[in-house]
Chain A
Amino acid sequence: MTITVTLNGKRITDDVAPDLLLYDWLRQKGCLSVKCGCETTNCGLCTVHVDGKPTLSCAMLAVRADKKTVTTLEGLQEEAIEFGGFMADEGAEQCGFCNPGFIMNVLAMKEEPDVYTWTDRQIKEYLEGNLCRCTGYAGHLRAIRRYLAARQEGMK
């Protein structure tokens, strides 16, 4: 089936099988940041943005991305460097395998209207679907706090 997707800013037309997962299609297209950790929609590693919304690419058919905008971490390198720097400064990346999916969800979270007023609990709830086995999540929260503070400072 033919699909036309705006992938990381580029319009791509492709012929795909009806049961091809968006995850597999993205990796075929060279978006190797997208990882798979569970196959049961529980881990969040495969998170990408579909029309701006954080989406599990392992649970979406490529055909359903037709006429949509799909963004992976490859398409958000500046943002990845900006937030990732705070992760690196906290040592919160560790093995790194869950980082792209996690960072994609953080980058979606930062667009939530009142995110700068959120409590730690609200941040954790937004990101609860991103599992990590290395860090104990504590470094993630420190990095997010510093990132949000720096962005808020930059807006002044």
Chain B
Amino acid sequence: MFTAGNYVVAKSLEEAYQLNQKKTAGILGGMLWMRTGKRRYSTLIDLSALGLDGIKETENELVIGAMVPLRELETNETLRTYYGDAFLEAVRHIVGTQFRHMATVGGSLFGRYGFSDVATIFLALDCTVELYHAGEVPIETFLAQKPDRDVLVAVHLKKTPCKVCYQSQRITETDFPVLTCAVSRQESGWVFAIGARPSIAKRIENTLPYAPTAEEIAAFVAHADETLSFDSNMRGSEEYRRHLTRVFVRRAIGQLMEETR
């Protein structure tokens, strides 16, 4: 458990941002992973009072506030309308209902955790991350950056028609994933995001056309893991992760081709 000298409920994003410029300060999301750390924080910054806990629909976007709990991702009807069960599949294995009532979208993304299901699903979608200081940043750029002193405000999902498939492999049902795989198919093409490699989700360099032939699929699947790096850790070896990547990519393509037939 960490210790802290002060706790502030920020009254504005500007205040949160200013407080957070001190290296010893920390922004509270759901506090779940933070709790397992042993750091000393001078000031804890709470974003709860800034109205960031809702999912708003605009003409072109769904805007998911940084303080939206993961539980909302799995139960929200708007998300279900656009993405089917993909969000439910992505977060249902994360520890437990109570945990997901507390863990936030902002906290899950900002930490750039290697095991993150949340990072994996967003990476497969057409979206940007809104930061208070840096403004809107494409999700793939955001995930590749190191955590800095900025404040994550929201995720902007473009209402691009798409079909999404989410898969993960786990040792027990609520464990960290051995591998995560989110695949979306939209008119502009396919997006394949692979996470828990065990480092953070990355996209596969895509060479697959929107309507591939069986041969094209087979050729793509056979090399699906090759543009990404993988590693071994307690939960699985590099070899297994590469193997799973091929299996999941093939299954996802099959499922999404079926759904849009």
Contact = CB atoms under 8 A, between A and B. Distances in A.
B92 A19 contact: no
Interface residues of A, number: 28
B95 A105 contact: no
B30 interface: yes
A98 interface: no
Interface string A1-36: 100000000000000001101000000000000000
Interface size class of B (residues with CB under 8 A): 20 to 34
B31 A55 contact: no
A137 interface: no
Nearest to B36: A40
Most buried by B among A39, A41, A53, A54: A41
Contacts of B96: 44, 127-130
Contact of B97 (A21, A63, A128): A128
A19 B97 contact: no
Contacts of A80: none
B243 interface: no
Nearest to B69: A53
Contacts, number: 75
A127 B7 CA distance: 32
Interface stretch (B98-106, B121-129, B227-235): B98-106
A141 B25 CA distance: 44
B133 interface: no
A59 B102 contact: yes
Contact of A59 (B30, B46, B92, B174): B30
Interface in B112-135: none
B7 A105 contact: no
B82 to A, nearest CB: 22
Interface of B: 1-7, 28, 30-32, 35-36, 41, 44, 46, 48, 92, 95-99, 101-102, 173-174
Closest 9 CB pairs of A and B: A129-B96, A18-B7, A19-B4, A54-B98, A59-B35, A18-B4, A63-B7, A53-B101, A56-B98
Interface of A: 1, 18-19, 21, 39-42, 44, 47, 53-56, 58-61, 63-64, 105, 108, 125-130
17 contacts: A18-B4, A18-B5, A19-B2, A19-B41, A21-B1, A39-B36, A41-B32, A56-B99, A59-B35, A60-B31, A64-B48, A126-B97, A128-B96, A128-B97, A129-B96, A129-B99, A129-B174
